[in-house]
Amino acid sequence: MGKARLYQHLPKSKKACIANVNFTDGHINTIARDYYEDASFSRDEQGYINLWDVYNLFTKANKSSYIDTFLDRNVNAFDFVKGIQKALMGDESYCWFLS
C-alpha cells in the first residue's frame, strides 16, 4: 500500500526502474500468509523458499481475480519472479527491492 502512494510522486526516471506489481493488497496479504502456512508452496523449516514456489504463491493468490485481470496478473507474477532471479544473479538494474 505504501509503494502505491509513494510511487505516484517519483520522477519518471525512477519509475522506469521499478517493476510494476499488478496485485492488490488482498493478494499480497494472501501471498504473505501462504508463505508461512501453505502446505505445498510455503517456506521450508529454515525459512527459505525457491522462486518456483514464490511464483506459485502469486498465481494461487491470483485465483481470486476477475477474468479480465487474471491473465495480466499471471504474466506480471512471472515477470516479477524473473526479475528477482535477475537480481539474485547480480543484475543491479533490478535490485531496488533488495537494497
List b or e across 50-66, with b for residues whose CB sees 16 or more CB atoms inside 10 angstroms. eeebbbbbbbbbbeebe
For residue 95, the model assigns a pLDDT of 65
Report yes or no on whether pTM surpasses 0.85.
Answer: no
Whether 6 has a pLDDT exceeding 70, the answer reads no
For residue 98, the model assigns a pLDDT of 59
* Most distant CA atoms of the chain, gap in Å: 41
Domain ranges of the chain: 2-94
Whether 18 has a pLDDT exceeding 90, the answer reads no
C-alpha to C-alpha distance for 35 and 33, rounded to whole angstroms? 5
Over the stretch 21-80, which tens digit does the pLDDT of each residue have? 889 889 999 999 999 999 999 999 999 999 999 999 999 999 988 888 899 999 999 998
For residue 5, the model assigns a pLDDT of 60
